[in-house]
Chain A
Amino acid sequence: MAAIPPFDADLLRRYDRPGPRYTSYPTAPQFKPGFGPAEFAKAARLSNDDPIPRRLSLYAHVPFCFSPCFYCGCNRIITRDLARAETYLSRLVREVAMLGPLFDRDREVLQIHLGGGTPNFFSPTQIGELLESLNTHFRFSQSPARDFSIELDPRFINKGDIEALAFMGFNRASLGVQDFDPAVQAAVNRIQSVEETQAVIDDCRKHGFRSVNVDLIYGLPRQTREGFGRTLDTVVATRPDRLAIYSYAHMPQLFRPQKQIDESLLPSAEDKLGLLQLAIEKLSAAGYRYIGMDHFALPGDDLSVAQEKGGLHRNFMGYTTHADCDLVGMGVSAISHIGDTYSQNPRDLPSWEIAIDNGRLPTWRGMQLDADDVLRADLIQQLMCQGEVNIPELEERHAIDFGLYFQDDLARLVPLQADGLVEVSATRITATSRGRLLLRIIAACFDRYLHQAQAEPARFSKAI
């Protein structure tokens, strides 16, 4: 995919419609309550019994935030009560102790990710305790390729924190920025200075972090070309290895915090597209490559390298180079992907706490993928990561006749072909350079559930 795709306002305007982001296929709304602790344990057992069991990727969710950002659509709890971190950690550690024995000891942990919420709501000492417990109940890989990453809110990083994290083995950080424009920061209730952000990035570099990612959002209230342009210039000057430019989706009926946002201050659809165009121009000029969806990376970053070699993968943590791991999620709302199953912990804290207190695995819902799900997941994964599907290889892997199997899906692609988003040949489906900013629209053509029931149109955010 490499070069950043050209911007096409007309096309983006026409395809600005709701659709899943495909961090998983099937998407989370398909998970069902019938999949509980017993099914989770069985999936773990089966995964241990592959000839070469997959290595592990661990995700821990820290739901707390010190202060509410109004744009947020994540699962989080606003509090300044640090005692809550301690009680949450004590349960998290018990969950780790329940999960660890389900996985054979020779399955190395190649990736750890702490997400939230705000993982640095935990003190470095508490994060250290969590890692210690993970290390006791799982076996960490000693490979230099292992990734230990953490999402950080730079506003709550103290001197010495980054050094402590590096000492524990963390080597990747993702920093929330969104926008440095003071007017925007006030409108979304996130006041964060360039200096404190820069200090955290510098500290990460100084202490040997392999990669620093910065998150920006376009489409926020009071955002302007001038202000966002300055933010982009400032951010690009710090040379983050990776950049994510997310589209703000205003869905206050789904995400309560967004009710605080004055809709009249939101940029028009036209202005929003202008912001994306600006971002694309500036990142292109600065030498970044397009990874897919909202993600960009410097040419030397692992993601860029993996994309060239075809080893790129997409999961709940975004894009990753660890394609062959089973994902074990812990903490409230965390999602696991083990073998051909998905499962999720309760999204509300009390339900998760009760399960842990009763010594039960907290699995709340999930699903066992059938052959059709596995096939479509494979196809969508290739589209989202490589921007291309190799048809003969897919036919070989899944023993299908592509043209017959995907008759209806291919028919849905026809208008997209006419609009120059995608090219279809006998051997390949390829997102054109015009279509690469709209990968999720192309992927959605192959989503069986989306076309089975169009009942809940407002479930997903707009594509742009």
Chain B
Amino acid sequence: MSPPAHRPRHNPIADDGDALHFCSTCAFSDACLSQGYDKSALMDLHVLVEHIGPFHEGEHIFREGDEFNAIAAVRAGTVKTYVLDATGQEQVLGFHLPGEIIGLNAISEARYPCNAVALDTVMLCRFSFPKMALLATRMPGLQAQLFKLLSQDIGKAALLAGDYSADQRMAAFLVALSRRFAQRGFSATRLHLTMTRTDIANYLRLAPETVSRVLRRLQEDGLVKVERRELEITNPAGLDELARAVLRS
């Protein structure tokens, strides 16, 4: 065949790792690379890993109450976590992008305290948690990384508490998404929103109409440009400014 007519998308799809290299988006790559672990340590960590998927749109990865035995890193796609409240209403807890971990909040309970569902085609790396915990006692870098991930997970929930305007929440949501993508080497200004407006609304505790109204306003102010599920941040500094109160940075 001739050279590829398709250019790489600015959408996140992680490359595959091999025995010596982690996937470029791996949540644990820091733990090893920055600590200068040798190949054998890498191998140790690799045997814990199992590539699973694909999960298709709407497919559940785990459900609330399922027995917890593994955490998983997203390799490709987006995972939504949510709980159902007493009245059966869905409450969105978060969206997990490539390189991010799901299942961390299960560590204390031995059971998953929420549901995780694929929003598009999702591939995962599954880490057996008991084995990982054991390995962490030998690899301080890994332990540190686990703590770091845990504290980030707690921090994320705090992002949307507090008394902020709808515009501020939306800006914070977009800036946080952009930073998370950028961290993994993807475009910080062109985001493909895999979550529905109902999900975004639920997550931000806004009405769906408000989500659209706010986005339209941000668009009129020249901060973003929205075309269906594609969102371009056209004025990053302006959006940062609006998000600052919520993100505190």
With both beta carbons as reference points, the residue of chain B lying nearest to A46 in the complex is identified as: B196
**For the complex, what is the distance from the CA of A400 to the CA of B10, rounded to whole Å?**
12
Assess A51 versus B200: contact at CB under 8 Å? Given A104-B208, A106-B209, A404-B2.
yes
Q: Restricting to A384-415, which residues have a CB under 8 Å from any CB of B?
A: 395, 399-401, 404-405, 407
Interface contact A49-B6, CB-CB below 8 Å: no
Instruction: Tell yes or no: A50 within 8 A of B by CB.
Output: yes
Residues in A70-114 with C-beta less than 8 Å from chain B:
104-106
Closest 10 CB pairs of A and B: A49-B196, A405-B5, A404-B5, A106-B209, A399-B7, A52-B212, A399-B9, A52-B226, A49-B197, A52-B215
Instruction: Flag A17-60 by CB within 8 Å of B: 1 or 0 each.
Output: 00000000000000000000000000000001111111000000
Complex Cα gap A125–B219 (Å): 41
Interface of chain B residues 1 through 28 with chain A (CB within 8 A): 2-10
Q: Given the known A-B contacts A51-B226, A52-B216, are A400 and B7 also in contact in the complex, defined by CB atoms under 8 Å?
A: yes
| A51 lies within 8 A of B211 (CB) | yes
Given contacts A51-B193, A51-B200, A104-B208, could you give 6 more A-B pairs where the C-beta distance is less than 8 Å?
A: A51-B211, A52-B216, A399-B8, A399-B10, A401-B4, A404-B5
Instruction: With both chains docked as a complex, state the minimum distance between the C-beta of A235 and any C-beta of chain B, in angstroms.
Output: 39
Supply 16 A–B pairs (Cβ within 8 Å), ascending by A.
A51-B200, A52-B216, A52-B226, A53-B197, A53-B212, A104-B208, A106-B208, A106-B209, A106-B212, A339-B228, A399-B6, A399-B9, A400-B7, A404-B2, A404-B3, A407-B5
**B166 within 8 A of partner (CB):** no
Q: Which residue of B lies closest to A403 (CB)?
A: B5
**Chain A residues whose C-beta falls within 8 Å of the C-beta of B183 in the assembled complex:** none
User: Cβ of B229 and Cβ of A50 under 8 Å apart?
Assistant: yes
In the complex, what's the smallest C-beta–C-beta distance from B228 to chain A, in angstroms? 5
Give Cα A104–Cα B3 distance, bound, in whole angstroms: 44
CA distance A407 to B5 in the complex (A): 9
Within 8 A of A (CB), among B96-137: none
**Cα distance, A190 to B209, chains bound together (Å):** 50
B235 at the interface (CB under 8 A from A): no
Find chain B residues with CB under 8 A from A404 CB. Answer: 2-5
The answer to whether B228 and A50 touch across the interface, beta carbons within 8 angstroms, is yes
A203→B247 CA distance, assembly (Å): 60
Does any Cβ of A come within 8 Å of B159's Cβ? no
In Å, the complex CA distance between A404 and B1 comes to 11
Q: How far is the CB of A143 from chain B (nearest CB, A)?
A: 13
Chain A's closest residue to B231 (CB) is A51
Q: Which residue of B lies closest to A105 (CB)?
A: B209
| CB–CB A401/B208 < 8 A | no
- Interface residue tally for chain A (C-beta within 8 Å): 18
Determine the residue in chain A with the shortest Cβ distance to B229: A50
Which residues on A sit within 8 Å (CB–CB) of B193?
A: 51
Q: Is B152 an interface residue, CB under 8 A from the partner?
A: no
Q: What distance in Å separates the Cβ of B190 from its nearest Cβ neighbour in chain A?
A: 9
Q: How far is the CB of A140 from chain B (nearest CB, A)?
A: 16
Question: Which of A50, A395, A400 has the most chain B CB within a 10 Å cutoff?
Answer: A50
Using Cβ atoms and an 8 Å threshold, which residues of chain A touch B4?
Answer: 401, 404
**A395 CA to B6 CA in the complex, in Å?**
9
Query: B198 on the interface (CB 8 Å rule)?
Result: yes
Closest to B11 in A: A399
Chain A 328-359 near chain B by CB (<8 Å), digits 1 or 0? 00000000000100000000000000000000
Q: A105 CA to B208 CA in the complex, in Å?
A: 11
Looking at the complex, which one of B6, B198, B200, B216 makes contact with A400 (CB distance below 8 Å)?
B6
CB distance from A45 to the nearest CB of B (A): 9
User: What residue of chain B has the Cβ atom nearest to residue A324's Cβ?
Assistant: B227
Instruction: Return the CB mask of A211-222 against B: 1 if under 8 Å, else 0.
Output: 000000000000
In the complex, A339 Cα to B231 Cα: how many Å?
16
- Inter-chain CA distance A395–B3, complex, in Å, is 16
Chain B residues contacting A54 (CB-CB under 8 Å) are 228
* Cβ–Cβ < 8 Å partners of A395 in chain B: 7
Most chain B beta-carbon contacts within 10 A, residue among A51, A104, A105 = A51
Q: Could you tell me the distance in whole angstroms from the C-beta of A142 to the nearest C-beta in chain B?
A: 15
A52 to B216, CA, bound (A): 7
Task: Kindly provide the distance from the CB of B195 to the nearest chain A CB, expressed in whole angstroms.
Answer: 9
Q: Which residues of A contact B6 (CB under 8 A)?
A: 399-401, 405
Chain A residue, CB-CB nearest to B170:
A51
Residues from chain A with Cβ under 8 Å of B7 in the complex: 395, 399-401
Interface string of A159-199 (1 = CB under 8 A from B): 00000000000000000000000000000000000000000
Give chain B nearest CB distance to A175 CB in angstroms. 36
